[in-house]
Structure 1
Amino acid sequence: MTEPGSSRSRPKGAYDVFLSFRGKDTRKNFTDHLYTALLQAGIYTFRDDNELTRGDEISKHLLEAIQESKISIVVFSKGYASSRWCLNELVEILECKKRNTDQILLPIFYDINPSDVREQVGSFAKAFDKHEERFKEKAKQWREALEEAGNLSGWNLNDMADG
């Protein structure tokens, strides 16, 4: 029998939740606990480090998971903006939300303020100093996505970095 959250145990398009997070920041604490709690509640959740097998086309598989999920939970953390992968996921999540009004985006602000995301200050500003050198056009798109997501109502979990 396969694990409840595995793509092999559910038909295509059956994810309830797509979980977007910066692995270095939250994988071993908050995100792992959230993922486990969702699975235990019977909520089928896509988490890239758990769902992708060697040889899978990562970008296509992730895009399909985002597009087919009913809800996207984005865990914003201090290192989120340093990951181009996370930023590209966020752009796709917001585009899907616009195309499909039934899709829901739930932001979680983990050990940062929503204003850090919205205004790209602190660690987000440092990340964009690097991004804008190499990815000027993409950086503009990423900034707009962060501003939009930072304006959404979500959960502010300040001072939670220790789990």
Structure 2
Amino acid sequence: MFFEPGSSSLSSSDRWVYHVFLSFRGEDKRKNFTDHLYEALKRSGIRTFRDDDELPSGQEISPQLEKAIQESRISIVIMECRDTIGQIVLQLFYDIDPSDVRKQTGSFAEALKVHEERFKNEKEKVYWWRNVLEGRC
């Protein structure tokens, strides 16, 4: 799904400074996939905020980064923003079979087990992630 620059679905308003907030963790994605996506969005005239500083896992995001997220019409991919501030959220799958995500098999099953251990005192968070990945939310 792509939007035409200036279309009503991405028109400027007082609330949206950026059309898209783009942030991915991981060196390979940041230097390959994310760069290509960012350049394609930019060439299309889509105002995109790209987080250039890699946020280490488990660290809090800065107030400036949180502001950029809230000022973006679309996030790729932060699911909480869909519910809390009404953003459109696009799920992108890079080098993975989307059925592994939805069915939570393969590497996604392993990652969720790690998260269940890491967030054992916040089980509702992992339950919510599972529902989102299955397409229930």
TM-score category of the 2 structures, normalised to the smaller one: 0.5 to 0.7
Instruction: Give me the whole-angstrom Cα distance separating, in 2, the residues matched to 1:134 and 1:105.
Output: 25
Work out which structure has the larger RCO, using CA pairs closer than 8 Å and 6 or more positions apart in sequence: 1
Q: Deviations over 1:20-41 (max 9, x none)?
A: 3232342222211000111122
Taking a change above 3 Å as real, the CA distance of residues 129 and 142 of structure 1, as seen in their structure-2 partners, is closer
Find the residue that maps to 2:27 and give its secondary structure. helix
**Could you say which residue in structure 2 is the equivalent of 1:72?**
75
Counterpart residue number, 2:128? 144
Alpha-carbon contact 2:19-2:47 (below 8 Å) kept? yes
| TM-score (ref. length: structure 2) | 0.66
- 8 Å CA contact 1:38–1:44 kept in 2: the answer is yes
User: Any gaps of 5 or more consecutive residues in structure 2?
Assistant: 1-13
Q: Residue by residue, what CA displacement relative to the aligned partner does 1:35-61 show, whole Å, maximum 9, x if unpaired?
A: 011112221212212699xxxx84323
Q: TM-score, normalised by structure 1?
A: 0.57
Between the two proteins, the alignment pairs up a number of residues equal to 119
List aligned pairs for 1:14-25, cutoff 5 A: 14-25=17-28
The equivalent of 1:31 in structure 2 is: 34
For 2:66, give the aligned amino acid: L
Q: Which runs of 5+ in 1 are unaligned?
A: 1-10, 75-89, 153-163
Percent of residue pairs bearing the same amino acid type? 57
4+ residue runs over 3 A deviation? 137-140
Q: Is the 8 A contact 1:119 1:147 kept in 2?
A: no
Number of the residue aligned with 1:8 = none
Distance 2:53 2:35 in 1: 10
1:42 lines up with 2:45 in the alignment: yes
1:107 pairs with one of 63, 67, 91: 91
RMSD: 3.1
**Matched-pair contact (CA < 8 Å) for 2:73–2:88:** yes
C-alpha displacement at 1:14, in angstroms?
1.0
- Partner secondary structure for residue 45 of structure 2: coil
